[in-house]
Amino acid sequence: MRVKVISRSADEFTRERSNDLQRVSRNYDPNLRTQEKAVEYVRALNAAKLDKVFARPFIGAMDGHVDAISCMAKNPSHLKGVFSGSMDGDIRLWDIASRKTVCQYPGHQGAVRGLSVSTDGRILVSCGSDCTVRLWRVPLASGIESDDSSDSSDKTLASYVWKNAFWAVDHQWEGNLFATAGGSQVDIWDHNRSQPVNSFGWGNDTVISVRFNPGEPNVLATSSSDRSIAIYDLRTSSAAIKVTMTTKTNSIAWNPMEPMNFTAANENCNCYSYDARKLPEAKCVHKDHVSAVMDIDYSPTGREFVTGSYDRTVRIFQYNGGHSREIYHTKRMQRVFCVKFSCDASYVISGSDDTNLRLWKAKASEQLGVILPRERKKHEYMEAVKNRYKHLPEVKRILRHRHLPKPIYKAGLLRRTMADAEKRKEDRRRAHSAPGSMPRKSIRKNKIIQVIE
Amino acid sequence: MEIQHDVSDELEIKVKKYQRGEAADLESLKDKKLKGQLANKEELFKRSANAAAKAEKWLMQTEEGRLEPEGLEKTWRFNQQSIANEVDVASRKNQFDLVLPDLGPYTLDYTSSGRYMLSAGRKGHLSIIDLHSLKPIKDMQVRETVRDAVFLHNELFFAAAQKKYTYIYNRAGTELHCLKEHGAVLKLQFLKNHFLLSSINKSGHLHYQDITTGQMIGNYRSRLGRSDVLQHNPYNSVLASGHSGGTVRMWKPTSQAPLVEMLCHRGPVTAIAFHPNGHLMATAGMDKKLKIWDLRTYKPVQTLPGLAKSIDFSQKGMLATSTGSFVQVLATSDSQDYGRYMIHTMAKGYQINKVLFRPYEDVLGIGHSSGLSSILIPGSGEPNFDSWVANPYETVKQRREKEVRVLLDKLPPESIMLDPTQIGNLRNSRKKEKPTKEETEAEKEAAVAAAKNVSIKKKTKGRSKPSKVARKKQEGIEQAKRSFVEQNEDGVMKKKQKRVTDTSDLPIALQPFVSRKAT
């Protein structure tokens, strides 16, 4: 006969000294943990509630400008630095960590309309309604310290005067060129030339925004006030393709991880994501704003983008999501004219009519600061269970809920009513017309009038 | 080569334990994207199950107990004395007899880690014993009948069903609450995931009380008279009550009607026990039968003869039964059938009140008319505990942390259901695939067209007159149309008939209660 019974000695399962860690033994047998799914569901619910509790996205406002902020630029080689330009011609460099002005660049006579930084982070290009393009020297990252002297002589590199007022500027991702939009044309400039090296035009209307493609240095997209988006290639003499829509595009952003895709921020409260290779149809329509979308910027991850709107809110969208993931607003924030995602994808900066730059967290309930591995694992687990049970009504309700300012909520309701009415009317028209004479047009196509190549 | 094969087989069995059921069938999916995502997920599940199975070797160090007969020896021939001679000193300490002849019969309960034992004598003797040191933590006399006692979520609190009311005490013996609403309780059960104290009282009322908030969650009448058989299923926290008519009812706290009502015995039910995996239920009745039921089909898988006053399943699936002063332990070998594994006889005249396996030990606790006993049953307990589930070597700090953790994970009473894996799943659509109007219309047209095209045979003179042929064709068309209408009606008729005949599909144990439910 062989007999064996379970026999444990306490020494194996308890610690030897009081400053040792407690011993842990694991057994992953599902029979020991009953009702796993119910427990996970409760954890998901708790995680969703905690998310709401800790959702404090606003970090702080950066005060200093005396007029509305019209444009911003981030420094690709320096994480903390952000440039902002205002309607009174003031350009400032901000240190995001301390939320203070590092230096100012006086010089512009009218509003600053566009700001852009070269890829090496040495040169800042600005343009404005005073018909000048100015190149500035950016202080080195190591030497950044608060310096309030407005002595501009050591900062100015060049100042070029041109025929028309400028609306936007963008620097090439790799290379020495930058493009300005102004009048009815796009001008391509070199750092060292006082006149544009090249000019493109298509039609007579003002070009209002320009953005270089992050993957292909010679490709750029512009939008103009004749409601069109045009894509140019610097190696050819004319535009490659032009789409005309029923609404004006205020700003364009290329997806940095999928450089063939770009998203246009439109006057009709929507954003349209396009594949530059297949223009007759938008890839996705992002709805939620209740007033014109003024600016858009992609996260460096390419998975989401931020938009600022005339309705005084900032929203964050998934690159493929029809509705916003997040909405940010404060009582004091006025019309948002420019937004930027920080280069580490964890902050969002908005500049608005009320002369302030505002700093937001990209994930509203994210914990800032150093997170120890165990805590991070816990966060990851919570995220996973939340994701697993997000379709259940209770969890969904909590995760979706956002407090909206009353005017925006009301405007949203009104917009929905209008859209419903329009749809109803169209349905009735369709029902009373000859079958097939009024084909249904997809929402991704129906704002596009024509595509010219 | 052979050895390698064996190892892979062994691993496969282990992996199966962690896979939690079959993988989803992805072949029928049409959505390619979804299919890809789900396939990735299945791959992940497979990998994690494999990892868990491989880690077993390193994580689960304690060896399982066993009793291996050699030659013609039989396991049930070994008595406690012979086992005691073979095992180590520490395990021998688990064999003991507490002779307390005055205040019995005794009932007992263990904490989920198996470290503490609560014993309650019928005549008011309550005590908590630390089974590691074998020292009593608290010994008290409430001078009142105590019918049952259970630990709450840890060893600090316990509930005792006394003569008139149920009381909650702490470890020091201080009365914390008097639960008057429960009435004169006969049997208590604590659902530790939900923090629900449930009881059945003298008049057959079932109560569920949330002990964190004090809220009474459910109060249901069984209407089947007095019963002192109540047991919860650890797999899904459903309560089962056994009644004098031989029926067993399963309850959840959120519905007045029982979830399941089944006829198990031809006589009063005396005891119920659940296998830890939740698929097997054992019931014992006054009809001198012990039945083991499969809860997925509600059919008995085995019927054994013999009277049993108290039964209990161990963590490894052994079944202990007691009658009079005799304890029998049944176990399964590779086949499904339970067979005799060990027997134990108490001193003559002892009436066993309750048998209960101690978690994470090879020990069976026995409460009887003159005290408490504890015997060794090799191979009954789970050898490896998980510190985050139940830790026998828990320190005070760990206990406090665990209390917070389990309170955060406290389940709502709605999560008690027969199949707990349903949570988070989609409900099956109840609508049957009906042919659309267009489809039926098209079918009808086709049938009519077919009827029109039927060529009619030439018959004898006078029968194939054009008028008759035309009439016949018309009749054929009418027939085709009519059959279509009838078919629809037939469909409805068939459905109605099916509902009536549904009874025959049910297992026999559930049949007597179907007609009553329908009315």
Residues A300-327: tens digit of each pLDDT: 999 999 999 999 999 999 999 999 999 9
DSSP string for residues in B341-366: EEEEE-STT--EEEEEEETTTTEEEE
Question: Which of A12, A27, A388 is the mutation pick for testing B, counting most B CBs within 10 A?
Answer: A27
List the single range of B46-50, B59-63, B123-127, B357-361 with lowest mean pLDDT: B59-63
- Residue A142: what pLDDT? 52
- Residue B333: what pLDDT? 79
Structure confidence by residue, pLDDT tens digits, B304-350: 999 999 999 999 999 999 999 999 999 997 767 899 999 999 988 89
Task: Report which of residues B169 and B441 the model is more confident about.
Answer: B169
The pLDDT confidence band at residue B428, using thresholds 50, 70 and 90, is confident
Q: Which residue, among A412, A440, A415, A446, has the nearest Cα to A426 in the 3D structure?
A: A440
Q: Token digits for B386?
A: 């998980």
Domain-embedded: residue B65: no
Contact A32 B386 (CB under 8 A): yes
Domain-embedded: residue B430: no
Question: Is residue B218 within 8 angstroms of chain A, CB to CB?
Answer: no
Specify whether A339 is located in the same domain as A388.
no
Question: Which residues form the domain of B121?
Answer: 79-410
Specify whether B42 is located in the same domain as B137.
no
Structure confidence by residue, pLDDT tens digits, A280-305: 899 999 999 999 999 999 999 999 99
Closest chain B residue to A31 measured between Cα atoms?
B277
- Whether residue A154 is predicted with pLDDT greater than 80 in this model: the reply is no
**Locus of tokens 């408490």:** B372
Compute φ and ψ for B367, nearest 5 degrees.
-105, 125
Specify whether A141 is located in the same domain as A62.
yes
Chain centre distance of CA B366: 22
| CA B264 to each of CA A293, B200, B261, B511: distance values in angstroms, whole numbers, following the listed order | 70, 20, 9, 11
Contacts of A181 (CB under 8 A, 6+ apart): A114, A166, A167, A168, A169, A207, A208, A209, A210, A222, A224
Closest chain B residue to A11 measured between Cα atoms?
B393
Specify whether B348 is located in the same domain as B470.
no
Domain-embedded: residue B240: yes
Domain-embedded: residue B423: no
User: What's the gap in Å between the CA of B64 and the closest CA on chain A?
Assistant: 6
Domain-embedded: residue A11: no
Question: Is residue B83 within 8 angstroms of chain A, CB to CB?
Answer: yes
| Integer Cα distance of B311 and B288 in angstroms | 13
Specify whether A289 is located in the same domain as A153.
yes
User: What's the gap in Å between the CA of A320 and the closest CA on chain B?
Assistant: 15
- Whether residue A177 is predicted with pLDDT greater than 90 in this model: the reply is yes
Question: Which of A14, A21, A35 is the mutation pick for testing B, counting most B CBs within 10 A?
Answer: A35
Specify whether B14 is located in the same domain as B155.
no
Contact A39 B193 (CB under 8 A): yes
User: What is the reported pTM?
Assistant: 0.87
Specify whether A64 is located in the same domain as A94.
yes
Domain-embedded: residue A298: yes
Contacts of A447 (CB under 8 A, 6+ apart): A245, A246, A247, A266, A268, A270, A272, A282
Q: Which residue, among A185, A135, A136, A183, has the nearest Cα to A160 in the 3D structure?
A: A135
Q: Please give the angle made by the CA atoms of B474, B479 and B481, to the nearest 5 degrees.
A: 100
- Residue B435: what pLDDT? 72
Domain-embedded: residue A125: yes
Specify whether B393 is located in the same domain as B250.
yes
Specify whether A164 is located in the same domain as A311.
yes
Specify whether A149 is located in the same domain as A239.
yes
Task: Report which of residues B430 and B83 the model is more confident about.
Answer: B83
Q: Which CATH number goes with the domain that contains A133? A: 2.130.10.10
Residue among A5, A10, A35 whose CB faces B376 most closely? A5
Domain-embedded: residue A327: yes
The three-class DSSP label of residue B115 is coil
Contact A392 B424 (CB under 8 A): yes
- On chain A, the residues whose CB falls within 8 A of the CB of B388 are 24, 26
Looking at chain B, the whole-number percentage of residues with pLDDT higher than 90 is 68
User: What's the gap in Å between the CA of B443 and the closest CA on chain A?
Assistant: 24
How many domains are there within chain A?
A: 2
Contact B411 A35 (CB under 8 A): yes
Specify whether B508 is located in the same domain as B454.
yes
Looking at chain B, the whole-number percentage of residues with pLDDT higher than 70 is 93
Domain-embedded: residue B48: yes
Question: Which of B389, B423, B425 is the mutation pick for testing A, counting most A CBs within 10 A?
Answer: B423
| Integer Cα distance of A96 and A365 in angstroms | 19
The pLDDT confidence band at residue B129, using thresholds 50, 70 and 90, is very high
Q: Please give the angle made by the CA atoms of B313, B315 and B320, to the nearest 5 degrees.
A: 25
- Residue B487: what pLDDT? 57
Compute φ and ψ for A384, nearest 5 degrees.
-65, -45
Specify whether B33 is located in the same domain as B89.
no
Specify whether B55 is located in the same domain as B90.
no
- Whether residue B455 is predicted with pLDDT greater than 60 in this model: the reply is yes
Specify whether A393 is located in the same domain as A253.
no
Domain-embedded: residue A153: yes
- On chain A, the residues whose CB falls within 8 A of the CB of B71 are none
Specify whether B30 is located in the same domain as B112.
no
Strands B299-305 and A198-201: unpaired
Structure confidence by residue, pLDDT tens digits, B85-128: 999 998 999 999 999 999 989 999 999 999 999 999 999 999 99
| Integer Cα distance of A433 and A296 in angstroms | 41
Question: Which residues form the domain of A187?
Answer: 58-361
Contact B423 A13 (CB under 8 A): no
Contact A27 B59 (CB under 8 A): yes
- Residue B2: what pLDDT? 58
Specify whether B322 is located in the same domain as B351.
yes
- On chain B, the residues whose CB falls within 8 A of the CB of A28 are 18, 52, 55, 59, 386
- Residue B511: what pLDDT? 85
Specify whether A393 is located in the same domain as A256.
no
CB pairs under 8 A between A and B: 143
Domain-embedded: residue B207: yes
Which one-letter DSSP state was computed for residue B163? S
Specify whether A199 is located in the same domain as A330.
yes
Strand order in the sheet with A207-212: A207-212, A219-224, A228-233, A239-245, A448-452
- Whether residue B489 is predicted with pLDDT greater than 70 in this model: the reply is no
- Residue B372: what pLDDT? 95
The pLDDT confidence band at residue B468, using thresholds 50, 70 and 90, is confident
User: What's the gap in Å between the CA of B409 and the closest CA on chain A?
Assistant: 6
The total of other beta-carbon atoms located within 10 Å of residue A376's CB is: 12
- Residue B362: what pLDDT? 94
The pLDDT confidence band at residue B517, using thresholds 50, 70 and 90, is very low
Q: Which of residues 289-318 of B touch A (CB under 8 A)?
A: 315
Structure confidence by residue, pLDDT tens digits, B10-24: 888 888 889 888 888
| CA B18 to each of CA A7, A150, B53, B258: distance values in angstroms, whole numbers, following the listed order | 26, 69, 7, 32
Q: Which residue, among B343, B495, B460, has the nearest Cα to B355 in the 3D structure?
A: B343
Domain-embedded: residue B320: yes
- Residue A151: what pLDDT? 53
How many domains are there within chain B?
A: 3
Specify whether B177 is located in the same domain as B51.
no
Contact B65 A4 (CB under 8 A): yes
Structure confidence by residue, pLDDT tens digits, B352-397: 999 999 999 999 999 999 999 999 999 999 999 999 999 999 999 9
The pLDDT confidence band at residue B431, using thresholds 50, 70 and 90, is low
Instruction: Check: CB of residue B410 under 8 Å from CB of residue B195.
Output: yes
Instruction: Check: CB of residue A440 under 8 Å from CB of residue A230.
Output: no
Domain-embedded: residue A442: no
Domain termination site, one of A333, A361, A389? A361
Domain termination site, one of B410, B428, B457? B410
Q: B513: alpha, beta or left, given left = phi > 0 and alpha = psi -120 to 50?
A: alpha
Q: Which residue, among B263, B209, B229, B249, has the nearest Cα to B354 in the 3D structure?
A: B229
Mean pLDDT of A71-91: 93
Domain-embedded: residue B301: yes
The pLDDT confidence band at residue A237, using thresholds 50, 70 and 90, is confident
Q: What is the mean pLDDT of chain A?
A: 92
What does the radius of gyration of chain A's CA atoms come to, in whole angstroms? Answer: 27
Specify whether A391 is located in the same domain as A349.
no
Q: What is the mean pLDDT of chain B?
A: 89
- Residue B518: what pLDDT? 46
Specify whether A81 is located in the same domain as A211.
yes
Domain-embedded: residue A408: no
Domain-embedded: residue A394: yes
Structure confidence by residue, pLDDT tens digits, A186-207: 999 999 899 999 998 888 889 9
- On chain B, the residues whose CB falls within 8 A of the CB of A32 are 382, 386, 389-390
Instruction: Check: CB of residue B357 under 8 Å from CB of residue B380.
Output: yes
The three-class DSSP label of residue B372 is strand
Specify whether A357 is located in the same domain as A380.
no
Q: Token digits for B326?
A: 């005799």
Specify whether B303 is located in the same domain as B394.
yes
Contact A37 B421 (CB under 8 A): yes
Specify whether B52 is located in the same domain as B83.
no
Longest dimension (CA), chain A: 105
Closest chain B residue to A47 measured between Cα atoms?
B408
The residue type found at B485 is V
- Whether residue B486 is predicted with pLDDT greater than 80 in this model: the reply is no
Q: What ipTM, to 2 d.p.?
A: 0.84
Question: Is residue B136 within 8 angstroms of chain A, CB to CB?
Answer: no
